[in-house]
Structure 1
Amino acid sequence: MSSKILASASLESKQPIYKIEKDCLISKNADVTVAFRLELPEIFTLSREDYAQLQQAFVKAVRLLPDHCAVHKQDWFVEDKYAPGFETDRTLLSSAYERHFFERPFLNHFCYLYITKMSSERPDWGSSSGLLARRNIVPKDMLDKKVMEAFFDNVGQFLRTLESVGPTNAPYIKSHRLTSDELAGTPEKSGLLEKYFALNLSDQAQQVDLDLTNGLKVGQQFCNMFSVANLDDLPLGVESDIRYEPLSTEYTDFPISFAAPLGLLLGTSHILNQYVFLDNTQKTLKTFEQKKDRLNSLSLYSRQNSVNHEFYQQYLNEAVADKRRPARVHVNVLTWSESEDELTEVRKLVNAAFNTMNCKPRQNTVDIAALYWGGVPGNAGDFPSEETFYTFIEQSVCFWASETNYRSTGATKGIKLSDRLSGRPVQVDLSDEPMKKQIIFNRNKFILGPSGSGKSFFTNHMVRQYYEQGAHVLLVDTGNSYKGLCELKGGVYFTYEEDNPIAFNPFLVSGKLDVEKKESIKTLLQALWKKDDESVSQSEYVSLSTAVSLYYVMLEEDETIRPSFNTFYEFVKGPYSELLLAEKVREKDFDIDNFLYVLKPYYRGGEYDYLLNSPKELDLVQSPFIVFELDNIKDHPILFPVVTLIIMETFISKMRKLKGVRKMILIEEAWKALTTPGMAAYIKYLFKTVRKFFGEAIVVTQEIDDIIGNEIVKDAIINNSDTKILLDQRKFILKFDQIQSLLSLTEKEKALILSINRDNKPERGRYTEVFISLGGVVSKVYSIEVSKEEYITYTTEESEKMRLFDKFEKTGDMPTAIKLVAAELREGK
């Protein structure tokens, strides 16, 4: 450019946008632009088929646009920091979690799409013809009304085509049309135009000086630009996706979009501009025919002319035979920094990213101002034509970055997990929002993970947040995985120890005695009286039912009698025995002596007199956090069946009595609890009906064989668990095909699962990853990263648990003990 062109001028005088009217940008060349903000699919969640489907939709959408249109996709990637809210009502662990992630850096992504209609009379302009270089600008008349109406119809079809990609209830792309206020700004908020000229997407972006004397400087930011604007800079072929080596295995290819290296993976603040220009197709092909003929006539004088002639021949043949539409394309990356030294490192990153795509970027120096100006929203028509190259639409859209960051789901409910790429926390609704969108049809979950995969960390993390959001939680555990969390939350912890045996009082009734409570007591008495292979006759069932009913009538009449098995036993032995005698009930109808003899061990002075006579006035239905630890009794022929019956009765009572309250039952190490037919039948019933009572049933296991081996439960659990959660499966790699078949996992989900923990970032410290599939519709891998306070609460390492409970014993306060141990861990002790 000449020096007089670079003379100082006000931004207002050079501003390429003439006005904003009816949510449209109108340039001084009379180009009309509509602008959209797009929501793209989340990174690391798509398969090769998904990328192909996206590319086909991009092609179909662009083909809908008329000649003399420009599609400008502008992706902003801005360095940001996680800013949690520190509400006063946060719990110890939730506050520790937010502090752990405070100011966690990540790359924020905003995707904008501008579709511009240009005048059909307008010639191709070069760098020296743009608005930035011309002193006198005469705005052209607006285009014909019918032409504009047709253009807006085409734009509507364009958006509908993009938004139709993916599952109906979870489309990959969503759009929002930018309003005039969002484009031009208001007194309170900056508009997109202001933000672009300031390279600042905050709502308080302020106008800064543009220095074009030596490259480009925006305010205090030094800018670099790298572009692909020549066919010689491109690989022999482009694709919709490429293999991402860090997450691929010898069994699976993990895909990302072709342009992903220029997107979130670049790891520094930048703008990725992708342009597709649609000229007059017939005129373009006619021009190429002329060039082809001219090169043919000159081919005798130069082999290069002969080669170029062949290229034009192939291009024209493909355009005609396959009905391809020519398009001009340009891709550039704009980076900035307050330090020129930092730009050197950024330059290396950008070059490496382009090299991943097998492209050779060119650093723009002299023409950076023209390219920056062409990137102004609504000014694509001012883009210099010599910076573009011809191809077809099919190839041009391969340069569009197709992924964005993980997004939070659910307004207030859900669990906090981390973005796989940066570790930034996101809220994930695994229950309510997916149900509303009909992605899942029940809230049940199946969790599979080998020992050491982080399974207990995930379940502790999930259970804790569900409980803090008002859910009632009942856990069936083997291994004390939830002891720390239960103690912290003031829950009820049932376990068997020699000096403190497990004890209940199933005869204690909350509120009025109902039919279900009576049935559960009768079921318990039958289980204690009869063996599994013994049946209960009708007369015996009636006798038991009458005994239970009359017992509670007695309790109502004499409030001094405390409900327990002891008083029930005494009632049957005394008043009820006399009643049967008076009514002449025969021994073969109900052998009361046999009943009392078999149940005597549970009565005062018997071997198990503690089991059903707990002195604690515990109302398990109203207790929001209950843990049944079964490790010490899982093989006990008496205690285990009784405890499983108590578990069944407790959760069913919660289901039916707690209206409008979320209920969760989580069964750890399923096989230990499923060995009895009674428990297996109960779980089968539970998984099929819990949905109707705002509840969810969760089974956690280390081995898929645990479920496969139980025919009663296998189909009930798998078929009625719409949410499948898997931890690191590398230990099962040789039999993963069996797992894939049983859980009906797709090839896409297989690639996601086998990518778990393959590219963990050491700088983020200790964390693991988890795969979550919602109905097979939405599947992705998240990071499980927690604070030191959460770690010491969740840990299942024996030495670390002992360390915590030693502190608890000394202080008498679990929150204090957690804080003390967490502080020691931070100090490296």
Structure 2
Amino acid sequence: MRNTLKATTLESKFPLLSVEHDCIVSKDADVTVGFRVELPELYTVTSAEYEAVHSAWVKAMKVLPDYSIVHKQDIFIREEYQPQIDGEMSFLSRSFERHFNERPYLNHYCYLFLTKTTKERSRTQSNFSTLCRGFIIPKEIKDTETVTKFIEAVGQFASIMNESGFVKLHRLTSDEIVGTDSEAGIIEKYFSLSQSDTTCLQDIALAADEMKIGDNYICLHTLSDAEDMPSRAATDMRYEKLSTDRSDCRLSFAAPVGLLLSCNHIYNQFVFIDDSAANLQKFEKAAKNMHSLSKYSRSNQINKEWIDQYLNEAHSYGLTSVRCHCNVMAWSDDREELKHIKNDVGSQLSQMECKPRHNTVDTPTLFWAGIPGNEADFPSEESFYTFIEQAVCFFTQETNYQSSPSPFGIKMVDRLTGKPLHIDISDLPMKRGITTNRNKFVLGPSGSGKSFFMNHLVRQYYEQGTHVVLVDTGNSYQGLCEMIHKKTKGDDGVYFTYTEENPISFNPFFTDDYHFDVEKKDSIKTLLLTLWKSEEDKISKTESGELGSAVTAYINRIKDDRSIVPNFNSFYEFMRDDYRTELENRDIKVSKADFNIDNFLTTLRQYYSGGRFDFLLNSDKNIDLLSKRFIVFEIDAIKENKELFPVVTIIIMEAFINKMRRLKGIRKQLIVEEAWKALSSPSMAEYLKYMYKTVRKYFGEAIVVTQEVDDIISSPVVKEAIINNSDCKILLDQRKYMNKFGSIQALLGLTEKERGQILSINQANNPSRLYKEVWIGLGGTHSAVYATEVSAEEYLTYTTEETEKIEVLNLAEKLGGDIELAIKQLADKKRSKT
């Protein structure tokens, strides 16, 4: 049967004439300039910062001429994560990407359109929309001077916003507006309700009760009447889900219809800047009429009072009278889902204390007015009078988390949508001047997900070429180290653990080329002082100087006589025989009060041949730290030994510094778990400061990980040596320390904004996903909360649960030592149960 319905073409109704000099020109001679807008990230803005953003918008709007239109268009599209898998990816990286395959999330695109129209066009109503006109005759722009002034004002507008430091405007080019042969432009994308480059135009069905584009049904909610507005509009609101009685999480006033509305939708915000003086005169006249008619109707008297209040505000504070309109345009290809979406939109508007109005009359004309460049076609009866300050309160001021443009980084997860993010917390912050070093300080109580986060970070750094040295006291990295060891067939993934039968041994005096620079000599001297003096003893300048001279003399001796084996035994004998004699024969005697060599030899006798710790400093084989990229020192067995624990830890540090100096242009990473306590004595403070400052110069980073908050608070050495030299601070769930958090905040120098973010961790986690949140702060200026979510394969690799680790190792043994295959089989089994 032949279709007898009347239909028209988009070409005949299309309201735009051309795009010239990156400006959109409508057929009614309106000129529009478009921008792509960068907003601050969600959950990272404070109330004061929202005030600053609001102030910037207000200032910018005031530079625009009369009969300008500001149209902010926020487009939220449900998309699916596409994994980035290539042939060179590791087993765990592929598992991570597959875990998030087709994970749905809400993507945000923000545009700003500034339009110059005329007084006559600003009064256009819906019955004169281009949709209702039989044909459109293009008009000629006669007043070019007005357009020139408008373009200048637009430049000032962009400068004010960009200089605010919170919002960035990027001018849209002609190609971005109309598209190219290979990419769609923003106008084509708008008509397709899409933001992808593979769009194609679809049929548009317009009716009073329903509008349809392709297969998608559209519903529209409008804020177009002052009676529907809340009694009070603010720049921001408290987000209860992530707030506590001790902290605030702030969102913009319009956030409920932004990222918090999890469906496909467009949030349009219009501000119409008319002649403010003329508007106020019109209200003065209306107030007189209402006063004259007040005795006939009480409503006239009330309206007169409202108008007087509006005029008083305008004249008292010098406010600019404008018109405003906001609408939420949502869509779905399923009518049943659309019913739920209508309810959700109404609910979110109610959270803003607005009265939700489901518009079934003006949907087509409002959709048409939302076309980029066609803002002047807006039906004036759908707007209400207010001031710029109040109108801007209805702007959404935040966007979703953005991935870092840096090629180096780690994969974390957006805490709101669960989308993987690529973030750089080492290189890019230094390049931008946010941080001055790559060092990190990690604090998280037991059970907060600290081990999972550190395994996740270390694994990704290792896969990007980093040399990793870990000092652990809890077998947290055994699974990852074992996997690397098996994968590299024993060439990497070295796991040193201390046992009575096979104790860890070192040789701090060994170098393969007999090259001892100043730093190497100083580290040997510091080690010897630590072995000699207790925490309570004060080290004098004479003692430090004499021991430094002894180390230099010994090094000169072994360089001259290569038959001497460089180790602690030969150094001890040199001190006992040669250096003691040299002291006695000096013209200027050194008293025992200044430098007691006998006390030194007696104290260190236990490390000499035949002593109870003679194995410790006399290793006959050098631990090859240079060629191994992943090394774990597990010293849990001696962490309570007050004599061995500090010495072993310090020697590992010295070995790492030697590795750090020798490997040029290669990233190095030292991670010290609870072992940092051994370094917190006053005698080690200078060594610790030196190590932290030196790492930065050699493309390295030191990371200290702890869970004992009391130790941090009570140790001034830790604050001076570690915290002050760690520009990246990482905190996990601190609810266990809620009552102590004031001390932690003061110690770490956290701002109120950072406090609020940290205390929001794990407050509103999605029950359908398994993850823990983590706060990352950079340089005291940039901070955000991310989620650590991993695949089943990564979980089985990182787990510290003994039963799960044994299950993996036993299955790997049955499979001929293939730990990857064992983890894969157990992960598949775990997923099938889920």
Query: What's the TM-score once normalised by structure 1's chain length?
Result: 0.92
Report if aligned partners of 2:67, 2:272 keep a CA contact under 8 Å in 1: yes
- Which residue pairs with 2:652 in the alignment? 647
Separation (CA, whole Å) in 1 of partners of 2:292 and 2:257: 42
Greater Cα shift, 138-147 or 109-118: 138-147
TM superposition shift of 1:791: 1.6
Instruction: Kindly indicate whether residue 731 of structure 2 is the aligned counterpart of residue 717 of structure 1.
Output: no
Q: Does the Cα contact within 8 Å between 1:522 and 1:548 map onto a contact in 2?
A: no
Q: Which residue, 305, 320, 332 being the options, matches 1:337? A: 332
Corresponding residue for 2:169?
175
Equivalent residue of 2:260, what SS?
helix
Pairwise CA distance, 1:673: 2.1
User: Deviation of residue 570 (structure 1)?
Assistant: 11
Asked if 1:705 corresponds to 2:707, the answer is: no
**Secondary structure in 2 aligned to 1:632?**
helix
In structure 2, the partner of 1:14 is: 13
> How do residues 253-292 of structure 1 correspond to structure 2 at under 5 angstroms?
253-292=248-287
RMSD: 2.9
Q: What is the alpha-carbon distance in structure 2 between the residues aligned to residue 325 and residue 543 of structure 1?
A: 80
Q: Distance in 2 between matches of 1:687 and 1:761?
A: 38
Of residues 626, 634, 638, the one that matches 1:629 is 634
- 2:803 pairs with 799, 803, 810, which one? 799
The alpha carbon displacement at 1:553 in A equals 4.2
For 1:771, the equivalent position in structure 2 comes to 775
Mark the CA change 1:591 to 1:667 in structure 2 (over 3 Å): closer, same or farther.
closer
Partner of 1:3: none
Distance 1:245 1:431, change over 3 A: same
Residues 13 and 135 in structure 2, CA contact (< 8 A), matched pair in contact too: no
CA distance in 1, matches of 2:394, 2:545: 76
2: CA distance, partners of 1:540 / 1:8: 96
Greater mean deviation of Cα atoms: 479-488 or 252-261: 479-488
> Could you tell me how far apart the structure 2 residues matched to 1:824 and 1:604 are?
55
1:497 aligns with 2:499: yes
Three-state SS of the structure 1 residue aligned to 2:79 is: strand
- What letter corresponds to residue 778 of structure 1 in structure 2? H
> How far apart, in 2, do the equivalents of 1:224 and 1:517 lie?
72
Match of 1:549 in 2: 556
Within the candidate set 347, 353, 357, 1:362 is matched to 357
8 Å contact from structure 1 (residues 434, 440) kept in 2:
yes
Separation (CA, whole Å) in 2 of partners of 1:530 and 1:717: 22
| Rounded Cα–Cα distance in structure 2 between residues aligned with 1:544 and 1:437 | 42
Q: Would you say the 8 A contact 2:522–2:548 is kept in 1?
A: no
Q: CA deviation at 1:364?
A: 1.9
Aligned to 2:181: 187
Secondary structure (helix, strand or coil) at the match of 1:457 reads helix
Which amino acid in structure 1 is aligned with residue 67 of structure 2?
H
- After TM superposition, list the pairs within 5 Å mapping 1:422-437 onto structure 2: 422-437=417-432
Which of 744, 747, 754 is 1:742 aligned to? 747
> Take 1:531 and 1:366, find their aligned partners in 2: how far apart are those partners?
84
What per-residue deviation string (whole Å, max 9, x for no partner) do you get for residues 18-37 of structure 1? Answer: 11111111001100000111
Match of 2:212 in 1: 217
Shift of residue 39, structure 1, vs aligned partner: 0.8
Answer whether contact 1:684 1:713 (CA < 8 A) is retained. Answer: no
Matching residue of 1:239: 234
| Cα distance per residue 1:246-276 (max 9 Å; x no partner) | 1111222321111111111110011111111
Q: Distance in 2 between matches of 1:196 and 1:523?
A: 68
Aligned positions of 1:457-496 closer than 5 A: 457-489=452-484, 490-496=492-498
Instruction: Give the deviation of 1:663 after TM superposition.
Output: 2.2
Q: Say if 1:119 and 1:143, in contact at 8 Å, map to a contact too.
A: no
Specify the code of the residue in structure 2 equivalent to 1:427. Answer: H
> How many pairs are equivalent?
811
Query: Is 1:381 aligned to residue 380 of structure 2?
Result: no
Q: Which residue type is aligned with residue 789 of structure 1?
A: E
User: What is the CA distance between 1:107 and its match in structure 2?
Assistant: 0.3
2:105 is matched with which residue?
106
Q: How far is 1:123 from its partner?
A: 5.5
- Which residue of structure 1 lines up, in the alignment, with residue 757 of structure 2? 752
Structure 2 equivalent of residue 441 of structure 1: 436
In the alignment, residue 688 of structure 2 is paired with which amino acid?
A: I
The alpha-carbon deviation at position 161 of structure 1 amounts to 1.6
Determine the structure 1 residue equivalent to 2:487. Answer: none
> 1:405 — aligned with what?
400
Q: Distance in 1 between matches of 2:82 and 2:696?
A: 36
User: Could you say if the C-alpha distance between residues 217 and 580 of structure 1 is closer, same or farther in structure 2, counting changes exceeding 3 Å?
Assistant: closer
The alignment partner of 1:359 has SS state of coil
Corresponding residue for residue 682 of structure 1: 687
Distance (Å, rounded) in 1 between the aligned partners of 2:431 and 2:9: 53
Cα deviation digits, residues 351-392 of structure 1 (max 9, x gap): 111111111222222321111111111101001011111111
Q: Tell me which residue corresponds to 1:672.
A: 677
Tell me the percent identity.
Answer: 52
Sort the Cα spacing of 1:581 and 1:673 in 2 relative to 1 into closer, same or farther, 3 A: closer
Equivalent-residue separation in structure 2 for 1:68 and 1:588 (angstroms) = 90
* Alpha-carbon distance in structure 2 between the residues aligned to 1:195 and 1:78: 12
User: In the alignment, which residue of structure 1 is the partner of 2:488?
Assistant: none
Aligned to 2:123: 124
CA apart distance, 1:121: 4.4
Instruction: Please list every run of 5 or more consecutive structure 2 residues that lacks an aligned counterpart in the other structure.
Output: 485-491
Q: Deviations over 1:510-535 (max 9, x none)?
A: 44522344554555566557777588
Alpha-carbon separation, structure 1, partners of 2:691 and 2:443: 19
More deviation, 443-452/544-553: 544-553
1:39 maps to 2:38: yes
2:53 corresponds in structure 1 to: 54
Matched, 1:788 2:795: no
Counterpart Cα distance in 2 of 1:634 and 1:35 = 63
Give the Cα separation in 1 of the matches to 2:520 and 2:605. Answer: 23
**Is the 1:670–1:707 contact (alpha carbons within 8 Å) kept by the matching residues of 2?**
no
**Alpha-carbon separation, structure 2, partners of 1:188 and 1:483:** 50
Q: CA deviation at 1:540?
A: 6.6
Tell me the residue number matched to 1:168. none
1:621·1:650 contact (CA, 8 Å) conserved in 2? no
Distance 1:161 1:175 in 2: 10
Among 721, 731, 749, the residue aligned to 2:736? 731
Q: Structure 2: how far apart are the matches of 1:224 and 1:25?
A: 28
Could you tell me which amino acid in structure 1 is paired with residue 13 of structure 2?
Answer: K
The answer to whether the 8 A contact 2:550-2:579 is kept is no
Check conservation: 2:445, 2:734, Cα contact below 8 A.
yes
Instruction: Tell me, yes or no, if the aligned pair for 1:221 and 1:338 is still in contact at 8 Å.
Output: yes
String of CA shifts for 1:196-250, please: whole Å, max 9, x gaps: 1111211111111111145211112111111111112111111111121111112
Residue 541 and residue 388 in structure 1: after superposition, are their counterparts in 2 closer, same or farther (change >3 A)? closer
Q: Which residue of 1 aligns with 2:508?
A: 506
Contact preservation (8 Å) 1:681, 1:713: no
SS in 2 for 1:611: coil
Task: Spell out, residue by residue over 1:664-723, the C-alpha distance to the aligned partner (whole angstroms, 9 max, x if none).
Answer: 222212553235444433222223343222222222221332123222332232222222
What is the deviation of 1:541? 5.6
State the SS of the aligned residue for 1:396.
Answer: helix
Change in 2 beyond 3 A, CA 1:221/1:542? closer
Report the Cα offset of residue 440 of structure 1: 1.7
User: Closer, same or farther in 2 for the Cα pair 1:570/1:205, shift >3 Å?
Assistant: same
Farther off after superposition, 810-819 or 199-208 = 810-819
The DSSP-based 3-state class of the residue aligned with 1:818 is helix
How has the CA–CA distance of structure 1 residues 571 and 808 changed in structure 2, closer, same or farther, with 3 Å as cutoff? farther
SS in 1 for 2:73: strand
Question: What SS is found at the alignment partner of 2:810?
Answer: helix
Out of 195, 198, 210, the position equivalent to 2:192 is: 198
Q: Decide whether aligned partners of structure 1 residues 732 and 637 sit closer, same or farther in structure 2, where only a CA change above 3 A counts.
A: closer
Match of 1:662, as an amino acid? R
Q: Distance in 2 between matches of 1:579 and 1:692?
A: 35
Write the letter of the residue equivalent to 2:88. Answer: D
Q: Which amino acid aligns with 2:803?
A: S
Matched residue type, 2:200: Q
Conserved 8 A contact 2:680-2:718:
no
